[in-house]
Chain A
Amino acid sequence: MDEKLRIMVVDDEKIVRESLYHWFRKAGHVVDMAASGFEALDKLDKTPFDVLFVDIKMPGMNGLELLAKTKEEYPDASVVIITAYGSIESAVQAMKAGASDYLLKPFKPDQMALVLEKVAIQRRQEDRYRYVKGLLDEVTRFDNIIGQAPVMQEIFDLIPEVAQSDSTVLITGETGTGKELVAKAIHAKSLRANGPFIAINCGAMQETLLESELFGHQKGAFTGAEQARKGFLEVVSGGTLFLDEIGEISPKMQIDLLRVIQEKKIIRIGEREPIDVDFRLISSTCRELDKAVQEGRFREDFFYRINVISLHVPPLRERKEDIPLLVQHFLNKYSQETTKQVNRVTDEAISFLKRYDWPGNVRELENAIERAVVLSKGRTLHLEDFSFLKPQKTRSAPPRTLREIQKDYIHEILIQESWNVTQAAKVLGINRVTLHKMIKRYNLQKPSDSN
Chain B
Amino acid sequence: MANPKGLIGIIPMGTVPKHALEVISDRIFDLLGIPAHILNRVENPSYAFDRKRGQYDAAQIMTAAESMTWHDCPKTIWVLNVDLYIPIFTHVFGEARDGGSCALVSLYRLDSDAEGSPVSEEKLMARAAKVALHEIGHLFSVPHCTDYRCIMHFSTNLDVLDEIPMAFCHYCTAYLEEGVRRAGLR
Contact = CB atoms under 8 A, between A and B. Distances in A.
Interface of A: 1-2, 13, 15-16, 18-20, 22-23, 25-28, 82, 103, 105-110, 112-114
Contacts of B144: 1, 26-28
Given A23-B88, A27-B154, A110-B157, 17 more contacts: A1-B143, A1-B146, A1-B154, A15-B87, A19-B86, A20-B88, A22-B97, A23-B86, A26-B143, A27-B143, A28-B144, A105-B88, A106-B88, A108-B89, A109-B92, A112-B88, A114-B156
Interface string B82-100: 0001111111100011100
B48 to A, nearest CB: 12
B98 A19 contact: no
B88 A16 contact: yes
Given A82-B88, A107-B88, A108-B89, A22 B156 contact: no
Contacts of A13: 87
A101 to B, nearest CB: 14
Contacts, number: 62
Interface of A is mostly: helix
Given A1-B144, A22-B97, A26-B96, A106 B156 contact: no
Interface residues of B, number: 19
B122 to A, nearest CB: 25
B87 A19 contact: yes
Nearest to A18: B59
Interface in B135-186: 138, 143-144, 146, 154, 156-157
Nearest to A15: B87
Contacts of B98: 22, 25-26
Nearest to A13: B87
Contacts of A107: 88-90
26 contacts: A1-B144, A1-B154, A13-B87, A19-B88, A20-B88, A22-B97, A22-B98, A25-B143, A26-B98, A26-B143, A26-B144, A27-B144, A27-B154, A106-B85, A106-B88, A106-B89, A107-B88, A108-B89, A108-B90, A109-B89, A109-B154, A109-B156, A110-B157, A112-B89, A113-B156, A114-B156
Contacts of B138: 26
A19 B59 CA distance: 8
Contacts of A106: 85, 87-90
* A-B complex: 5 closest residue pairs judged by Cβ atoms: A110-B156, A28-B143, A25-B98, A19-B86, A27-B144
Interface of B is mostly: loop
B19 to A, nearest CB: 27
Interface of B: 59, 85-92, 96-98, 138, 143-144, 146, 154, 156-157
Contacts of B86: 19, 23
Contacts of B143: 1, 25-28
Contacts of A108: 89-91, 156
A107 to B, nearest CB: 6
B156 A105 contact: no
A20 B157 CA distance: 19
A82 B87 CA distance: 12
Nearest to B135: A26
A105 B98 CA distance: 23
Contacts of B85: 106
A401 to B, nearest CB: 74
Contacts of B88: 16, 19-20, 23, 82, 103, 105-107, 112
Contacts of A15: 59, 87
B83 to A, nearest CB: 12
Contacts of A114: 156
A423 B158 CA distance: 87
A8 B168 CA distance: 30
A114 to B, nearest CB: 8
B86 to A, nearest CB: 4
Contacts of B91: 108
A18 to B, nearest CB: 7
B68 to A, nearest CB: 19
Contacts of A16: 87-88
A16 B88 CA distance: 6
B54 to A, nearest CB: 12
A16 B87 CA distance: 6
A219 B98 CA distance: 77
A2 B148 CA distance: 12
Nearest to A4: B143
B94 to A, nearest CB: 11
Contacts of A103: 88
A74 B170 CA distance: 39
A300 B85 CA distance: 90
B88 to A, nearest CB: 5
A430 B90 CA distance: 80
B149 to A, nearest CB: 16
A15 B88 CA distance: 9
A113 B87 contact: no
